[in-house]
Amino acid sequence: MNKLNRLRLTMGREMGLVISLILMIAIFTAIDPIYLSPGNLLDIVDQSTINGLLAIGITFVIITGGIDLSIGAIMAIVIVSVGTLLTRNGINPPTAIFLGIVIGALIGALNGLLVTKIKLQPFIATLATMSAFRGVAYIITNGWPVLDIPPDFRRIMDGDLVGNFPVSIPILLGFAVVGHVLLKKTRFGTFVISMGGNEEATRLSGVNVNYNKVMTYAFCGVGAALAGMVMLARLGTGEPTAGQGYELYAIAAAAIGGTSLAGGKGSILGTLLGALLLSALKTGLVVVGVDAFWQYIATGAIIAVAAYFEIIQGKFSSIRHKLLAKKENSKLAG
């Protein structure tokens, strides 16, 4: 019954996101019909790819009860590293992409080691590495952007697959499928959720908590690496300043999608819908002529509302459990 209740709760949250997305599209379309044009809708999905890749990765970390504030800086390191490999070292695009993923995973694992071995709080650990990694990105390029990214790399990571349909969308969907399978269909996913629910109980049950937690940060690093390479291909230049502030949108997408900031709960589909909702909101504000600065206010408000929704949801769940327990006790007494 508990599993059935959790399934209903999750699907209810995701259905609510779908309804919210439809309502948002309807409102912006009523203000300006161009919002509903196929080109604009495709642009909404395309604009959600970078944020979506980051959000899917950080969802795993948040479910364990952690956080990763360094994902924007990891993006920057991967961007300038892959850009340098392509332009100065003559590495072919497929190899550069593979190395970019490895770099992201290793840097993410370093965050995990700081949390598990050095015993730093995730917030403090990743706040420190956010600054340190950004410095590394500047050191790699001496503060200069990497120019003249090869066209072959740009086509692989952000070219048009069919017509005007960008390849970055299948990259996002593919990563989402991998994340969903890992979270819902593997022992690793079970451990991730269990660690977020009760880490000590998970440890006492024989699970290698440190190892699995490091793996969640490594997976988060892979998401940041993919996001960075999509951005590198999209812009055609590698800036050491890239990715600043992107951690905010990734956390917002995960929170909107139902990932509990306290840990123990989340879904990849919800995070994906959260990223789409944010992209639809930002695009809508641009279409109707709202100042871009209001996007930051809207994002902050959405995070607060999503977090408060979790509190309300928890209270209702507690009340429901008490009522069910009272009902069961009444049956036994009768």
130 within domain boundaries: yes
Asked whether the beta carbons of 141 and 84 are under 8 A apart, the reply is yes
pLDDT confidence of residue 1: 44
- The three-point CA angle 101-104-105 to 5° equals 85
Considering the entire predicted model, what is its pTM?
0.89
Is residue 30 pLDDT above 70, yes or no?
Answer: yes
Asked whether the beta carbons of 100 and 228 are under 8 A apart, the reply is yes
CATH classification of the domain holding 216: 1.10.3470
5 pLDDT band (50/70/90 cuts)?
low
pLDDT confidence of residue 329: 63
Asked whether the beta carbons of 313 and 265 are under 8 A apart, the reply is no
Is residue 100 pLDDT above 70, yes or no?
Answer: yes
106 within domain boundaries: yes
258 pLDDT band (50/70/90 cuts)?
confident
Give the total number of structural domains in the chain. Answer: 1
35 within domain boundaries: no
Share of the chain above pLDDT 70, in %: 89
18 within domain boundaries: no
pLDDT confidence of residue 124: 97
Strand positions, DSSP E, the chain:
160-162, 165-166
For the residues 122-151, what does the mean pLDDT come to? 95
Asked whether the beta carbons of 39 and 164 are under 8 A apart, the reply is yes
Share of the chain above pLDDT 90, in %: 64
Domain with 219 in it? 40-329
Question: For 161-165, 192-196, 226-230, 235-239, which range has the lowest pLDDT when averaged over its residues?
Answer: 161-165
Burial of 178 (0-12, 13-18, 19+ CB in 10 A): middle
Mean pLDDT of the chain: 89
20 within domain boundaries: no
26 within domain boundaries: no
334 pLDDT band (50/70/90 cuts)?
low
Find which of 144-148, 257-261, 283-287, 329-333 is predicted with most confidence, using mean pLDDT. Answer: 144-148
203 within domain boundaries: yes
pLDDT confidence of residue 96: 96
For the residues 19-43, what does the mean pLDDT come to? 90
Token pair for residue 137?
């990105």
28 within domain boundaries: no
